[in-house]
Amino acid sequence: MKLFYSPRVLDHDAAGEINRGVVGEPFERPERAANVAAALNNAGLGLLVEPASFPDEHLLRVHDKDYVEFLRSAHRRWLNAGRKGDAIPMCWRADRMRPALLPTDLDAQLGYYAFDIMTPITEGSWQAARASVDTALSGAAHIASGTGQAAFSLCRPPGHHAGSDYYGGYCFLNGAAVAAQFLIDHGMSRIAILDPDYHHGNGTQDIFYARNDVLYVSLHADPATDFPFYTGFADEIGIGDGLGFNLNFPLARQTDWSAWADAYGAAEQSIRNFSPEAVVVSLGVDTLSGDPLSKFAFQPEDFGRLGGVLSRLSCPVLFVFEGGYAIDQIGANVVRTLHGFLGEYIA
Ligand code: OKP
Ligand code: ZN
C-alpha cells in the first residue's frame, strides 16, 4: 500500500473553536495528522511519500474559481483589514432574505462561503488545504497508473463537508471529490465514494448529486441528531441523471459494529451493482466509542473488521483521511483499518 503525507497539512492551526458557546481548544488540530503519520511510520506499512504538486486545474474540476480565489486570499485580506487572529464569519443570509449575489465585502463573503462558525480560516489554512488536495491527488494518480491497488492519503484538514463553493465542518477543499474526478478524467468511467466517517459528507454528496458516473454511499449519524443536521437523510437519492446514485444510511447514536455492519451489507451490495473501477473511501475514524465529537460505539478492534469488509470490494481502493478526534487513538485505528484491509490483522 502506498502512503502519502505532507507536513504542510499541519499549517492549518486554529487558535480556538466555539463549542457549545465556549471557546476551547479546536478538535481538528495539527496533532491529528502528526499522530496518524507517526502511527503509520511505526506500523511497517511502508514509507510515507511526499505528495507531488498538482496544478490547480484538478481542483477546479470540482470547486468554483471564485471560491478557490476567496480561500487563497481570505486570511491576507483579513490581516489587511487590520484584523488579528483567524477569519471567522459573523453574519449569514437567512433563507427568507433576498437571494444574495456574491458580495464584495470580506465579512459578507465569509458568511457567503461558510456554513458554520467552527471552521476558522487561519494564516496557513490555504497551504494546508491545498497540500491536502495534493495528497489526495497523489493517491489517485497512484491508482490511475494501474501499478498499485491501494493507497492511503493522509489528508488534513478533512474535505467531505466542503462543496463546490462552500466550506464548513473543518473542511475547505474536498480531497475525496477531487480524487474521484481525477480518476474519471484519467479514463475510469465509474467511481464509487464510500464514506464511513461518523458525519454525513454533505459536500461530496452535493458535488456529485446530479451525476451517474460517481456513486456516493455514506453511513453516518442521523442528521436529525447530528452535524450537519440539514442534509444526509435517506430520501436524498440524487437528481436528474444522478437519480439513484446517492445513498445515505443514517444510523442512530450508539450504533456499534454489528448494527453498522448490517447497514454496510446493503451499502456494499449497491456498490457491487454499480461495478466501479475504483472506490474512494472517505476514511473517518470518529465512529470510535468515546470520540469527543461522536456517539457511535466502535471498539478499536472493529477498525480491523472495517478494513476486512472493505477489502471484499475487490477493486482498487484509495483511502482519503477525514475525521477522528480521539487524538491519541486515531493513528492506531487508521493502522488497524489498513491492516484489516491488507488481511494482515485478525480482529
Ligand atoms: C468533521 B468530519 C462541536 C460540534 C461538532 C463539527 C463536526 C465536523 C466533523 N463544536 N461539529 O466529518 O469529521
Ligand atoms: Zn466526521
pLDDT of 148: 83
Measured torsion, CA atoms of residues 75, 60, 282, 323, in degrees rounded to the nearest 10: 0
CA–CA separation, 70 vs 178, rounded Å? 18
Which residue, by CA, sits nearest to atom 6 of ligand 1? 169
pLDDT band of 103, cuts 50, 70, 90: very high
CA–CA separation, 115 vs 239, rounded Å? 23
pLDDT of 346: 52
pLDDT of 122: 98
CA–CA separation, 143 vs 132, rounded Å? 17
Catalytic residue list? 161
Q: Would you say the CB of residue 340 lies under 6 angstroms from ligand 1?
A: no
pLDDT of 345: 63
Average pLDDT for 32-47: 96
pLDDT of 20: 87
Q: What is the pLDDT of residues 71-86, one digit of tens each?
A: 999 999 999 999 999 9
The answer to whether the bond into 55 is cis (omega within 30° of 0) is no
Q: Probe ligand 1: pick from 118, 218, 281, max atoms within 8 Å of CB? A: 118
Q: Is the pLDDT of residue 344 over 90?
A: no
Q: What is the pLDDT of residues 275-287, one digit of tens each?
A: 999 999 999 999 9
Which residue, by CA, sits nearest to atom 1 of ligand 1? 169
Percent above pLDDT 90 for the chain: 96
Q: What is the pLDDT of residues 215-234, one digit of tens each?
A: 999 999 999 999 999 999 99
Q: Is the pLDDT of residue 11 over 60?
A: yes
Contact 75, 123 (CB under 8 A): yes
CA–CA separation, 111 vs 92, rounded Å? 5
Of the candidates 277, 270, 279, the one whose C-alpha atom is nearest the C-alpha of residue 246 is 270
Q: Is the pLDDT of residue 125 over 60?
A: yes
Looking at the chain, list the stretches that DSSP marks H as alpha helix, in order from N- to C-terminal side.
31-43, 56-59, 65-80, 106-113, 125-144, 175-185, 202-207, 257-274, 302-311, 327-342
Q: What is the pLDDT of residues 256-265, one digit of tens each?
A: 999 999 999 9
pLDDT of 314: 87
